[in-house]
């Protein structure tokens, strides 16, 4: 029997979705954090379930050639921030591509040989920027002494140590600040070069600015947005521009003559701006009033209409689209929303997903509703972690997910 705190010697296999590799012990799957495929490690069991256990590597007995010295001090101290900074960046991307491919097969219903040219789920750098210090917005939490840090992996304790994701300006700002224990603090290094920190607004309480201003400036192309410091924006400083470029390229190739487009889960309208630049009039659906207000200010005078509300409940009242772009939260859009989108018969559906499992489920649902996968792309928008951003273009037609 395996019990918490047991030490096991394990030979590690394939990567799994969630920042671990899969080993086996006495017939039970063990999800090992801090190890790479092919390594032999000594790992301490942290959790035991009926069909699997979780463990963390405490000693590497036989190392992968792709292992490098741990680059994140916070992760080395147990924080849940970075889970792949002990692997070289190119190999990190290989692992992510493997996970995306496995999720598309197991959850999306695609066969191993169903991917060809334009559909191979490779993961490429989001930009030519560095793989450390890429995060220009983050949320930290105050420990018992008021110092800002990050929660330990799968726990409430707080680690106060520099994270490899943060640029020096935010690391220094965090070190200078103090907050009431347990308080979450948002930090931003905006595109104007200004650093800000605030306790986000919550339950009717206004935001409390600790440094800088209440609003941060973000830029994509010639447009700029003013977003509350605690408001949503892409974490990687280059991600919003990269996503906008991808959406523009996909709609230009697959969208046909410009007409009406939907930008679902559209936030402040970054992707809507890319669609406008391609000649489309755009309906944005978003739940956040703050994001809509910022988007209306930036996109004033452009053919963009914002609709506040849940996507599932708002689709029925929108003009029929020729192109649909959706960037749902980590939980995905879901089968009902994907079916509703397909029922409007757009020429192209562009899905942007940050969770491989939910992304695969949504793509599979589109294929069940008369669409086929025309293009697949993914980028490493979260270096040093197991996370990625995936893009799928779906067009009308029968998808043979059994392979070619």
Helices 335-343 + 356-367 axis angle, to 10: 40
- Split the chain (404 residues) into runs of 10 and give each run's mean pLDDT: 93 97 96 98 96 97 98 97 97 97 95 78 93 97 98 96 98 98 97 97 88 97 96 97 97 95 98 98 96 98 97 94 97 97 98 98 97 95 98 91 53
CA 21 to each of CA 10, 13, 98, 101: distance values in angstroms, whole numbers, following the listed order: 11, 6, 12, 15
Give the 3-state secondary structure of residue 105.
helix
* Residue 245 assigned as binding residue: no
* Residue 6 assigned as binding residue: no
Answer yes or no: 81 catalytic.
Answer: no
How confident is the model at residue 402, as a pLDDT? Answer: 55
CB atoms within 10 A of CB 56: 19
Nearest to 136 by CA among 166, 94, 179: 166
* Residue 120 assigned as binding residue: no
How confident is the model at residue 312, as a pLDDT? Answer: 95
Domains plus CATH for the chain? 6-67 (2.40.50.140), 91-128+237-396 (3.40.50.150), 137-228 (no CATH)
Q: What's the rounded Cα separation, in Å, for the pair 30 and 24?
A: 5
* Residue 150 assigned as binding residue: no
Give the 3-state secondary structure of residue 217.
strand
Q: 20-25 and 124-125: which strand pairing?
A: unpaired
Catalytic, out of 12, 72, 82, 354: 354
CA 162 to each of CA 159, 168, 170, 386: distance values in angstroms, whole numbers, following the listed order: 9, 9, 10, 19
CB atoms within 10 A of CB 94: 17
How confident is the model at residue 34, as a pLDDT? Answer: 97
Backbone angles phi, psi at 87, to 5 degrees: -115, 150
How confident is the model at residue 266, as a pLDDT? Answer: 98
How confident is the model at residue 404, as a pLDDT? Answer: 42
Give the 3-state secondary structure of residue 61.
strand
Which residues on neighbouring strands pair with residue 48, listed in sequence order? 53
How confident is the model at residue 401, as a pLDDT? Answer: 64
How confident is the model at residue 178, as a pLDDT? Answer: 97
Q: Report pTM.
A: 0.95
């Amino acid at each position: 029997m395996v019990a918490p705190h047991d030490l096991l010697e394990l030979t590690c296999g394939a990567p799994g979705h969630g920042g671990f590799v899969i080993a086996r012990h006495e017939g039970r799957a063990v999800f090992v954090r801090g190890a790479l495929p092919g390594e032999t490690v000594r790992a301490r069991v942290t959790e035991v379930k009926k069909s699997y256990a979780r463990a963390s590597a405490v000693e590497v007995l036989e190392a992968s050639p792709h292992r490098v010295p741990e680059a994140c001090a916070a992760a080395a101290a147990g924080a849940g921030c970075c889970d792949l900074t002990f692997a070289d960046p190119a190999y990190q991307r290989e692992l992510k591509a493997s996970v995306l491919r496995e999720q598309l097969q197991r959850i999306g219903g695609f066969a191993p040989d169903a991917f060809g040219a334009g559909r191979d789920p490779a993961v490429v750098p989001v930009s030519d920027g560095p793989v450390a210090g890429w995060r220009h917005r983050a949320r930290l939490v105050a420990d018992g002494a008021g110092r800002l840090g990050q929660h330990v992996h799968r726990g409430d304790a707080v680690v106060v140590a520099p994270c490899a994701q943060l640029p020096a300006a935010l690391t220094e700002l965090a070190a200078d600040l103090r907050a009431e224990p347990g308080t979450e603090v948002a930090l931003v290094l905006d595109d104007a070069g200004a650093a800000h920190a605030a306790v986000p607004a919550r339950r009717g309480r206004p935001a409390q600015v600790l440094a800088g201003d209440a609003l941060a400036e973000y830029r994509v192309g010639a447009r700029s947005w003013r977003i509350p410091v605690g408001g949503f924006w892409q974490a990687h400083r280059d991600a919003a521009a990269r996503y906008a470029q991808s959406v523009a390229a996909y709609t230009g190739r697959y969208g046909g003559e410009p007409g009406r487009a939907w930008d679902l889960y559209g936030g402040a309208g970054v992707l809507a701006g890319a669609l406008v630049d391609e000649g489309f009039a755009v309906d944005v659906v978003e739940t956040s009033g703050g994001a809509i207000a910022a988007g209306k200010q930036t996109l004033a005078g452009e053919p963009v209409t914002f609709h506040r509300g849940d996507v599932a409940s708002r689709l029925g009242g929108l003009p029929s689209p020729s192109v649909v772009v959706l960037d749902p939260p980590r939980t995905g859009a879901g089968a009902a929303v994907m079916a509703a989108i397909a029922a409007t018969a757009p020429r192209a559906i562009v899905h942007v997903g940050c969770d491989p499992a939910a992304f695969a489920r949504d793509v599979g649902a589109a294929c069940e509703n008369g669409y086929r996968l025309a293009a697949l792309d993914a980028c490493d928008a979260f270096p040093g972690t197991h996370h990625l951003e995936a893009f799928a273009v779906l067009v009308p037609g029968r998808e043979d997910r059994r392979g070619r």
